[in-house]
């Protein structure tokens, strides 16, 4: 299958694809800071984590991302090479500073202040992605709205809903707000944003356990399927008439950044490729566990995932999800042989992890070398939680 990606300059008439997706969200420069000292610079943004997942499962997609002329990773990674961003010469690349606090003696809890061990600040932002940036003459089977810095506007999401048959939205794209003075990231209630009225048209809304408070699951589940990631506890799925829990995969955590993005990539791929919700969520947990065991965007060799694709083919319930009558959708029914699918993915994970730990990959045993080789992130402390809560706009955790 052909993978379409924007080039410079991007054509406003990208070819129509019958089986592809549209991924929308900006690449970023991430700067990790501990105790006032910069520890690493990294390629950031959800697309850098989602793209490897979709590639590993041979799903074609167009990625729409904007950066400034100062972008540092144009040819540094496979993702940015295959999916080059739109360069806005009059803007800068979005920059996030992640300030980490010193580890506390109790590595299973947050610092005594009760606040998360990370303060995230958007210290620079690229231009937003507007409806005119989208290929107006193309239709897509699925869309992923995965902004991190407010780059996706309500009208842009509405256009994605017009162009894509099924749209997956990450809550961080629509409920984040940024302090006008220093860029500190906070969360606001979904019903106070310009996106709330679009809920009935969104197929799947993914959020972390902390973000779920601001989404209001009981209200959101009336209109769309809500998927809540719970870190080491797996995930939960809520829809109008039911809910389910999906178990996690054990993981030796090296760098948890991007776990939620990798989860969403796996979950969306599962739904698009015909799996039921439980199976798709398990696939999301699988990819999330691979992400935390590596430094930076995950290295996923597509050849190693052929067994996963074969298993998905056996378990598909339909060619593509038909959600017009969501209450009757087969995807919400209990999946057969759940243990068998789990065991199959666990076996694949063992193979992938053995590959990662070989000398040529050596991500787990030598994260510093891996960071230098891949322009990725340096190793973070093991007490760093997978998806950290971000304060609300009024300062409440």
Alpha helix segments (H runs only) across the chain? 47-56, 78-82, 154-163, 172-175, 209-215, 217-220, 259-272, 277-292, 306-315, 338-356, 367-374
Identified catalytic residue from 35, 261, 279, 319: 261
How many residues comprise the chain? 397
For 11-78, strand residue ranges (E) read: 21-24, 28-34, 37-44, 61-64, 66-68
393 upstream amide cis, omega within 30 of 0: no
Q: Residue 270: name the closest of 260, 261, 280 by CA.
A: 280
Q: Tell me if 375 sits within 8 A of 73, measured CB to CB.
A: yes
Q: How far apart are the first and last CA of the chain?
A: 45
Per residue, the 3-state secondary structure of 319-358, as one string, reads: CCCCCCCHHHCHHHCCCCCHHHHHHHHHHHHHHHHHHHCC
Q: Tell me if 34 sits within 8 A of 73, measured CB to CB.
A: no
Q: Residue 203: name the closest of 187, 230, 227 by CA.
A: 227
4-10 long-range Cβ contacts below 8 angstroms, 24+ apart: 4/60, 4/61, 4/62, 5/62, 5/63, 5/82, 5/83, 5/84, 6/62, 6/63, 6/64, 6/83, 6/84, 6/85, 6/86, 7/84, 8/84, 8/86, 8/87, 10/86
137-to-10, 17, 84, 165, 199 alpha-carbon distances in Å: 14, 10, 21, 14, 24
What's the rounded Cα separation, in Å, for the pair 377 and 367?
8
What six digits make up the tokens of 331? 């995807």
Radius of gyration of the chain (CA): 20
**Known catalytic residue at 261:** yes
User: Which residues belong to the active site?
Assistant: 261
């Amino acid at each position: 299958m052909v993978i379409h990606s924007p080039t410079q300059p991007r054509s406003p008439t990208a070819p129509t694809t019958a089986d592809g997706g549209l991924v929308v969200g900006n690449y970023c420069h991430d700067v990790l800071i501990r105790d006032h000292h910069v520890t690493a610079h990294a390629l950031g943004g959800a697309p850098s984590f989602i793209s490897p997942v979709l590639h590993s499962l041979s799903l074609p997609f167009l990625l729409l991302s904007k950066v400034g002329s100062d972008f540092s990773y144009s040819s540094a990674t496979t993702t940015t090479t295959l999916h080059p961003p739109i360069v806005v010469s009059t803007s800068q690349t979005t920059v996030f500073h992640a300030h980490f606090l010193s580890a506390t003696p109790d590595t299973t809890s947050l610092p005594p202040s009760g606040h998360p061990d990370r303060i995230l600040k958007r210290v620079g932002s690229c231009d937003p992605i507007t409806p005119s940036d989208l290929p107006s003459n193309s239709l897509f089977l699925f869309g992923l709205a995965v902004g991190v810095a407010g780059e996706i506007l309500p009208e842009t999401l509405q256009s994605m809903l017009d162009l894509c048959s099924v749209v997956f939205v990450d809550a961080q794209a629509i409920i984040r707000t940024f302090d006008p003075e220093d860029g500190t990231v906070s969360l606001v209630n979904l019903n106070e944003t310009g996106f709330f009225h679009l809920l009935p048209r969104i197929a799947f809304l993914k959020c972390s356990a902390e973000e779920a408070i601001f989404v209001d699951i009981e209200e959101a589940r009336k209109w769309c399927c809500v998927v809540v990631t719970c870190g080491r506890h797996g995930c939960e799925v809520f829809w109008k008439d039911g809910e389910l829990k999906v178990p996690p995969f054990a993981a030796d955590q090296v760098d948890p950044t991007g776990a939620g993005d990798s989860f969403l990539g796996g979950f969306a791929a599962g739904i698009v490729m015909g799996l039921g919700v439980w199976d798709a969520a398990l696939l999301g947990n699988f990819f999330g566990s691979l992400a935390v065991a590596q430094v930076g965007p995950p290295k996923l060799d597509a050849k190693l995932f052929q067994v996963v694709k074969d298993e998905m083919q056996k378990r598909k319930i339909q060619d593509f999800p038909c959600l017009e009558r969501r209450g009757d959708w087969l995807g919400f029914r209990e999946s057969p042989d759940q243990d068998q699918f789990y065991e199959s993915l666990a076996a694949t994970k063992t193979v992938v992890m053995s590959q990662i730990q070989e000398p040529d990959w050596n991500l787990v045993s030598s994260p510093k070398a891996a960071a230098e080789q891949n322009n990725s992130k340096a190793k973070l402390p093991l007490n760093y939680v997978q998806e950290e809560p971000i304060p609300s706009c009024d300062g409440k955790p």
